Chains A and B, each alone.
Chain A
Amino acid sequence: MDLSGFADEVGASGEVTITGAATRGGPVAGVRVVRPPTGIDWLRGDEMTVCCGAGTLVADLDEALAAVGQCVAIPPSGTVGGALAVGRSGLRRLGYGPIRDILLQARYVSAAGEVVKAGGPTVKNVSGFDLCRLLVGSYGTLGFLGEVILRTRPRARFEQWFVTTADPIETFRRLYRPTSVLWDGTTTWVLLEGHPDDVASSAAACALGEADGPPDLPTGGRWSISPSDVPAMRGTFVAEVGVGVVHHADPQPAVEASAAVVELNRRIKHNFDPTGRLNPGVDVLARP
């Protein structure tokens, strides 16, 4: 994918912000806006990799992958680049792993307006520093994603949501690799995927009843806590058991980062964007 036009748009000076579908907050207000390229460049089912523009809609990518029996661990809605830049995983993180593990290669436009490649196209690669993981969750403050190569996964042949009032931790402990376990303080929802016979026998062993889907999620705050602390959770919430993401009615109390971590964040931003021109004002430590 030719990124030279996108790089020209970003340019080398002046404040600039990026937007995709604006489902995760949108661009910085009052700043010149650019949009990343869209479209799937290639999809290699036998490699389980896909290359697309960062502006590609998650829904479009999902549809193309479904045609080859695959999917990607990106939460629905918005664009691929937006999901990566925000770095929040979906409800299936327990089974699929976090979104930060799917970015194999990124070509992004730097603060200097140059196209930079991070990572590599293969499913396994330890050549050099892991800039891909640094970019995921960086809110476009280090560079603007242009083209990404992602790791895909097989789409499960069967999936079913279940519900139980049994202890969530005990249910989680007894199941082999559930895709999602949610708990609201009273009820536990479980998503199982795989061979229908395995799903049925796992559900029977834990006395799970079938459900239509996951519960509605409170949207007041997205808490990030140790999974060990989930059982002590109180209030109006739906917690991801085994993960520690809690969808809560209230915002999470502020957690202060250590001085060393604050300084590392500052230096990384400075080294990648010395004049602070990319998404100006966005503070990644403030969980924007």
Chain B
Amino acid sequence: MTATATVVEELRTALGAARVRDAGAELSLYRRDAGHMAGVAAVVCFPVTTAEVAACVRITASAGLPFVARGSGTGLAGGAVPPDGAVVISLTKMNRIRSVDPTARRAWVEPGVLNLDLSRAVAVHDLHFAPDPSSQQTCTIGGNVANNSGGPHCLAEGVTASHIVALEVVLPDGAVTVLGGEDPEPAGYDLRGAFVGSEGMCGIATAICVRLTQNPPVVRTMLLDFDDVESGASTVSDIIAAGIVPAAMEMMDRLCLQAVEAYIHAGLPVDAATALLIEVVGLRAAVDGATEAIVAIAERRGVGGVRIAADEAERALLWKGRKSAFGAIARIKPNYYLHDTVVPRRELPGVLAQVYDIAARFELEVLNVFHAGDGNLHPLLLFDEREPGVMERVLAAGDAIVSASVAAGGVLSGEHGIGLEKRDLMPLMFSAVDLDAQSALRRAFDPDERANPGKVLPSPARCADVQSIPAGAWV
């Protein structure tokens, strides 16, 4: 019997046959995430308790096989792509909210709970979970932890790491423990902080204690449009420099506005070069003051239209416009490649100009819809994969955009993570010594490097087998 066959048998004994799947058709569903790379899973299992997760991990450990934890598979950087022959441990059936403490503003949730479901469940207490990735209807809290996910409202609230208090984890050797704690200053190194964003390479979170955020008493949402991209981008910097941190500050360019308007008919300014969707929240006087100041700053930058949502319905419509962008793109081209880099806010005008230049140079259409407030660019390169040779151009344009962002003092990823996609670009940001330090942390959690191997750290910093990027994959 092969090692894999033995593992499948042991997993079936531990979980029951129904929750261990190794038929080809089913395995093919677990070859990829929402990005463009694929691997090959040996078997997929669906534990429903922490003890079952620990059993799965121990079984893979005794066989020396790699494993990869997985939520909804909405990641874009290939983080959940199984290293060939890996055991995929799906956490989607662990989807209970274990407890909510509305006074301490905490909840213990299982990793398969969907992001938006959590906010809906705690709305009765006038609370929400602050990180709000665009995929929040389908992405899991466990996935948010693995990727340290962001979202539009992370401008003021911070990304996932700021909202995770404690983690019950199964370590790569099968041990179960709690990292961090419900108390504010647990003794020892910040293991919770080290685990968040480790892309499944330090173990599997089986329960997550999240911090919940008060719903604001007053919310003001506005759309400001500009005749040129630079004025919009400069307005973003001016607002921050004025000491105003809006709850969200999103930018959509003309191609995005046009695509979305054709899709949802929200009355968006389709003739503008760019529009800023800004949300200010808080108490009445602060919101009024910030709104007034933002409009005055925008006027100094020659703002065209200023549309302030009159009610919750209009607010929802404006946000629907922002969040429908990815669906609307299908009206332009059948495929898109979404990038994710961050630049200092003051560099936004220059880097955006470079993004348009790069797209033109590679004869591609580019659409920009992104978290301007924290300088988090999301250029979407549009294409039709049936067009011969287009993938090479998309790939080269993407690399050029990432390089331009880093050269402007930026970073490789703001919220999607490194995964496979940007693994080999890590040296753009980090020296071999820097990467060794990251590897040292990873090996403290996983000395045998079996938890999602081959991600994040480029090969010189890893000791285990080199996971090659699958043929045909794009990075």
Interface residues of A (CB under 8 A from B): 44-49, 69-70, 87-89, 93, 97-98, 100-101, 110, 114-118, 120-131, 133-134, 136-138, 142-143, 153-155, 169, 172-173, 176-177, 194-198, 201-202, 222, 224-228, 240, 242-245, 255, 257-261, 264-265, 267-268, 270-272, 284-287
Contact = CB atoms under 8 A, between A and B. Distances in A.
B51 to A, nearest CB: 15
Contacts of B366: none
B41 interface: no
B433 interface: yes
Interface stretch (B60-68, B327-335, B438-446): B438-446
Given A260-B171, A260-B177, A126 B374 contact: no
Interface string B154-198: 100011011000000001000111110111111111110110111
Nearest to B178: A258
Contacts of B433: 110, 114-116
Contacts of B283: 176, 194-195, 198, 201-202
B183 A110 contact: no
B158 A117 contact: no
B65 to A, nearest CB: 22
B86 interface: no
Given A127-B411, A176-B217, A122 B444 contact: no
Contacts of B206: none
Given A122-B375, A201-B283, A222-B185, 15 more contacts: A49-B344, A127-B411, A127-B413, A127-B422, A128-B456, A130-B148, A136-B193, A197-B284, A197-B285, A228-B182, A242-B104, A244-B182, A260-B171, A267-B443, A268-B189
Interface of B: 101, 103-106, 147-148, 150, 154, 158-159, 161-162, 171, 175-179, 181-191, 193-194, 196-198, 214, 216-217, 237-238, 240-241, 243-245, 282-286, 289, 342-346, 371, 374-376, 409-418, 422, 426, 429-431, 433-435, 437-438, 440-445, 447, 456-457
Most chain A CB within 10 A, of B101, B104, B216, B412, is at: B104
A155 B243 contact: yes
B441 A131 contact: yes
Contacts of B175: 259-260
B354 to A, nearest CB: 17
B344 A126 contact: no
A182 B190 CA distance: 25
Contacts of B411: 120-122, 125, 127
A130 B376 CA distance: 18
A122 B344 contact: yes
A143 B345 CA distance: 30
11 contacts: A87-B185, A114-B433, A122-B410, A122-B411, A133-B161, A133-B194, A194-B282, A194-B286, A227-B184, A242-B105, A261-B178
Task: In the A-B complex, list the 4 residue pairs whose CB atoms are closest, starting with the nearest.
Answer: A133-B193, A260-B177, A46-B241, A198-B283
Given A124-B414, A126-B413, A272-B437, A44 B190 contact: no
A228 B185 contact: no
Contacts of B148: 126, 130
A154 B442 contact: no
A197 to B, nearest CB: 4
Contacts of B435: 128
Contacts of A243: 184
A70 B416 CA distance: 30
Contact of A176 (B214, B243, B438): B214
A88 B212 CA distance: 22
A133 B443 CA distance: 17
B375 A124 contact: yes
A142 B438 CA distance: 12
A62 B424 CA distance: 39
A225 B187 CA distance: 11
A124 B154 contact: yes
Given A122-B410, A127-B418, A134-B193, A228 B158 contact: no
Given A44-B346, A123-B374, A70 B243 contact: yes
A47 B178 CA distance: 36
B182 A130 contact: no
B346 A265 contact: no
Contacts of A154: 243-245
Contacts of B158: 97, 101
A252 to B, nearest CB: 10
A137 B289 contact: no
A133 to B, nearest CB: 3
Nearest to B375: A122
A173 B104 CA distance: 9
B161 A261 contact: no
Nearest to A125: B411
Contact of A134 (B159, B286, B418, B441): B441
Contacts of B196: 130, 133
A126 B343 contact: no
A136 to B, nearest CB: 6
B285 A88 contact: no
Contact of A264 (B103, B191, B285, B342): B191
A134 B410 contact: no
A283 to B, nearest CB: 9
Nearest to B409: A121
A244 B441 CA distance: 28
A129 B241 contact: no
B179 to A, nearest CB: 7
B17 to A, nearest CB: 31
B344 A128 contact: no
B183 A271 contact: no
Nearest to A120: B411
A88 B189 CA distance: 13
B282 A198 contact: yes
A78 B438 CA distance: 29
Nearest to B423: A128
Contacts of A261: 177-179, 188, 191
Contacts of A130: 148, 161, 193-194, 196-198
